Structure 1
């Protein structure tokens, strides 16, 4: 879980997350899930945050039933598809959800 202060500390990244979600036309549940996953699994290094953000958006949408393809999410977040593919399951599990095994 994350602290309330994390939202303030990470406001620039959360604004970027919202912009990515807007480009993907995600619903409010997917956006909320993505924010929670991102803040709960926040990497220490700034260079890792963009990939974590993209994977959080993908996972949040998947959990909400508002799925978008990994390629589409990656394009919207300006990362490689492999960044999303390699991170999303770990972030889901780290945030306390059960990742699908398919």
Structure 2
């Protein structure tokens, strides 16, 4: 879990999450889950945060059933699809969730 100070310290990133979620037309459940995943797994290194943000949005959409593709999320955040692909499962598992069984 995360601390309240994590929200304050990452306010700019959370604002970017909302912008990307608007671009993707994500619902409230997906946004909330993405926010929780990001804040629970936020990296120390500033350069890693954009990739983690994208993966968090993908996880949030996936868990909420908002069928958003990795490519759409990558485009909305400004990272490569490969970045989302490489990081979403580790973030899902780090927050105690399980990957879907396709």
TM-score range, shorter chain: over 0.9
Partner of 2:97: 97
Q: Secondary structure at the match of 1:31?
A: helix
Taking the aligned partners of 1:67 and 1:89, their CA distance within structure 2 comes to 16
Matched residue, 2:48: 48
TM-score by length of 1: 0.97
Could you tell me which runs of 5 or more consecutive residues in structure 2 were left unpaired when the two chains were aligned: none
Where does the alignment leave 5 or more consecutive residues of structure 1 unmatched? none
Q: Any idea what SS the aligned residue of 1:63 has?
A: helix
Correspondence for 2:85: 85
RMSD: 0.8
C-alpha distance in structure 2 between counterparts of 1:95 and 1:67, whole Å: 20
TM-score, normalised relative to structure 2: 0.97
Alignment of 1:1-102 (within 5 A): 1-102=1-102
Q: How many residues align?
A: 102
Q: Which runs of 4+ in 1 moved over 6 A?
A: none
